[in-house]
Chains A and B, each alone.
Chain A
Amino acid sequence: MTDTPRDADHWAKPVSKLHVEDVPAGARNLVEGKRLLGPVQGFGKMWQKTYRVALHGSDASPTEVVRDWKEHFPEFWPEGNQFYAPLTGIEPGEVALIKASIAGGLKLSTGVMVMYADDESFTLMTPQGHVFAGWITFSAFEEGDATVAQAQVLMRAQDPLSELGLSLGGHKQEDRFWERTLANLAAHFGVEGQVSTQVTCVDRRRQWAKAGNIRHSAALRSSMAALRPRRSSR
């Protein structure tokens, strides 16, 4: 086949290791040299989580919703979490750094790569060290008389520690995060939306062969980094 596939411009090219050209002020680059991990490479149970909000009363089309979502992506995140968007925006192959609040008041430094982006959806993929291995797709579509915005996560916890953390409240924290994000997106379009959450366990098996992912754990590294100043102050 010599024809260029219609989706050719929407996908990132394969990368062996991540590289961040410019580290924004305030961000920590813990993804440099890390590999991307899909759901297949994770440790824990595989989950598909779908968060939706119908934008009743807004005349924004799916394309307009996704355009604004891309342009203002960090602004929709709940307070206390930072998404350092690439200077060129949400484009295939771009890497964004993240500083997220996790349990115990700790900040987790990690990142994502834009795996896929078109006019009606975009997908972020996680690197080694992230809490989960997988991807999250943001999309919009018409359903009935409304445009629906959706975030859908397909993931496994990357390592046993993350699996434990997710089962001890991490999943609920993640649910609240994306529910708040979608509510903020809806508010951007002037809608007080009711966010629905659907959680499906796709695979109950844990992949013990992937337990070694823990050596890359950003949660561990962020925790250790947080402890260092206390030691030096004694």
Chain B
Amino acid sequence: MTQGTLSMEVRHVGPASVVDIAGDITAASEDVLMDAYGRAATEATRAVVLNFSGLEYMNSGGIGLLVTLLVRANRAKQKLLAYGLNEHYRQIFELTRLDEAIGIHDSEAEALAAAA
């Protein structure tokens, strides 16, 4: 699904679903993000892995949406994991302390291993 400068594609990999994010995440991204989560979170999904390699911009409205996504994943007893964050976005996760609730990994392989 695409809206504005954001697109999210979903891949199912074993017990995990990978969401490939490309573009900007802002408060206006709610529909795209929640639609992607809806496609990612099947009954068999044990972890949702966010691939931030294509993230180009994120504001505080965007980080708020990730908190909402985290709540939904926790409610469904799914892990929420991430990889592909550059140093700048890793720092934002550290600042907002989202890194304490969303497992951050260096690669998709590492994230999928943590999802198993």
Q: Interface stretch among B11-19, B37-45, B64-72, B105-113?
A: B64-72
Residue in chain A with minimal CB distance to B102: A40
| Interface size class of chain B, counting residues whose CB lies under 8 Å from the partner chain | 20 to 34
Interface status of A148 (Cβ within 8 A of chain B) = no
Closest chain A CB from B101 CB (angstroms): 5
| Interface pair B59/A118, CB less than 8 Å apart | yes
Residue from A5, A11, A38 within 8 A of B86 (CB atoms): A5
Residue in chain A with minimal CB distance to B28: A141
Say whether chain B's binding surface is mostly helix, strand, loop, or mixed: helix
- Residues of the A chain whose Cβ atoms lie less than 8 Å from the Cβ of B59: 7, 10, 116, 118, 121
| Interface size class of chain A, counting residues whose CB lies under 8 Å from the partner chain | 20 to 34
- CB contacts under 8 Å to B, within A11-28, are 11-15
| Interface pair A115/B95, CB less than 8 Å apart | yes
- CB contacts under 8 Å to A, within B91-106, are 91-92, 94-98, 100-101
Closest chain A CB from B5 CB (angstroms): 11
Interface status of A154 (Cβ within 8 A of chain B) = yes
- Residues of the B chain whose Cβ atoms lie less than 8 Å from the Cβ of A135: 60, 64, 96
| Interface pair A38/B98, CB less than 8 Å apart | yes
